[in-house]
Amino acid sequence: MKSASKKTHKIIESLPNGEQISFPLAVVRGNRDGPTLGIIAGIHGGEFCGVEAALQIYSALDPKELQGEIRIVPVANLSGFMSCTMFCVPQDGKKLSTAFPGASTGSYTEKLASILHRELISKSDYVVEFRGGELVETMATYVSTQRIGDKAHDVKAEQFAKAFGARNLILLRERRETTASESANTSATYSGKLGLLAEAGGQGLREKIDVDFLKDGIFNVLAHLGMLKSRSLPADIEYRYLDSFVDVVSPVEGIFDWKVDVDEVVERGDVVGLVRDFSGATLAEITAPERGVILGIVTAPGVREGTTVIGIGRFM
């Protein structure tokens, strides 16, 4: 029989140029064999709800009640988190969010992704990636998983996603091939795991409702996987089935004003925002290209032509 344990430590690796890559890793081992669940948060420097939820999950876990193992990286982009650097890793200006599975001989961010993949994704059977709006974004709560065209996998992935307890459920359409620039959860999927993205929060806030969404979702998933027995699964949920995240961009440079709220359903052609010039005159109206749910809004007013200002989850 395994010995139950609960510990945290920091992964530290030195690079040839003298720089160091480091991030915290928490491991909770139950006293019975079972699957391994990996949780990764803090991909972008300003995604604070996921970090807080990961810390609270670790504090709440009792290894004696756990079957299997849970590996948690509460802050993947540690330098970005400590410096409040939005969207990228400060050392090289690249996005960790699309750097997986990484490369041991690549840039700083690619090496970081490679080590995270080795320490978390490759050692897990299931991977949940906590994301959220950056300091200038607000997001609806939702989960997303990648379909790959294999019926057995896709059924399990949908069940896994539903167990989290989110109303907005994105089942991403299968793709012909993978790339070298994937998110952590998608990289996990194409590595033979079940990967899930869970999104909540934004604007630099740690609202309890958003933190609880992520935290409760993990305990729901643990019950679904049979890793914890002392929790009931979510009640019946009227899911919104979505199949893609559609970026809506500004057609001109100017001052952006949104005319919708997150979690709102819009029809194709609905006005979702407008762009003004510096006299206050309207330059352009922005309309919804698809029927769907408003999942994200950029709250920074200054936008350039082609800048994404709204994200819509398209109905299946």
Residue 160 sits in the same domain as residue 293: no
Q: Report pLDDT for 195.
A: 97
Q: Is the separation of the CB atoms in 294 and 233 below 8 Å?
A: no
Closest listed residue to residue 28, CA positions, set 1, 5, 52: 5
**For position 201, what pLDDT does the model report?**
96
Count of domains observed in the chain: 2
In terms of residue numbers, what domain contains 260?
Answer: 245-315
Q: Is residue 258 part of a domain?
A: yes
Helices (H) and strands (E) in the chain, counts: 6, 17
Residue 235 counted as domain residue = no
Q: Tell me how long the chain is.
A: 316
Q: Are residues 117 and 252 in the same domain?
A: no
pLDDT of residue 180: 64
| Alpha carbon distance 293, 102 (integer Å) | 32
- pLDDT at position 234, please? 66
Domain with 260 in it: what CATH number?
Answer: 2.40.50.100
Residue written as token pair 């309207």: 282
**Does 60 fall in a domain?**
yes
Domain C-terminal end among 224, 258, 274: 224
**Is residue 197 a part of any domain in this protein?**
yes
Is 176 part of any domain?
yes
Is position 253 within any domain?
yes
Residue 229 lies in a domain: no
pLDDT along the chain (316 residues), means of 10: 87 90 97 96 97 98 96 98 96 96 93 97 98 96 96 96 96 78 94 97 96 97 91 78 97 98 98 98 98 98 97 97
Residues 23 and 105 occupy one common structural domain: yes
The pLDDT value recorded for residue 230 is 64
pLDDT at position 106 is 87
117, two tokens: 């993949």
Does residue 101 lie in a domain region?
Answer: yes
CATH of the domain at 194: 3.40.630.10
Whether 133 and 214 share a structural domain: yes
Task: Compute the C-alpha angle 207/208/211, nearest 5°.
Answer: 90
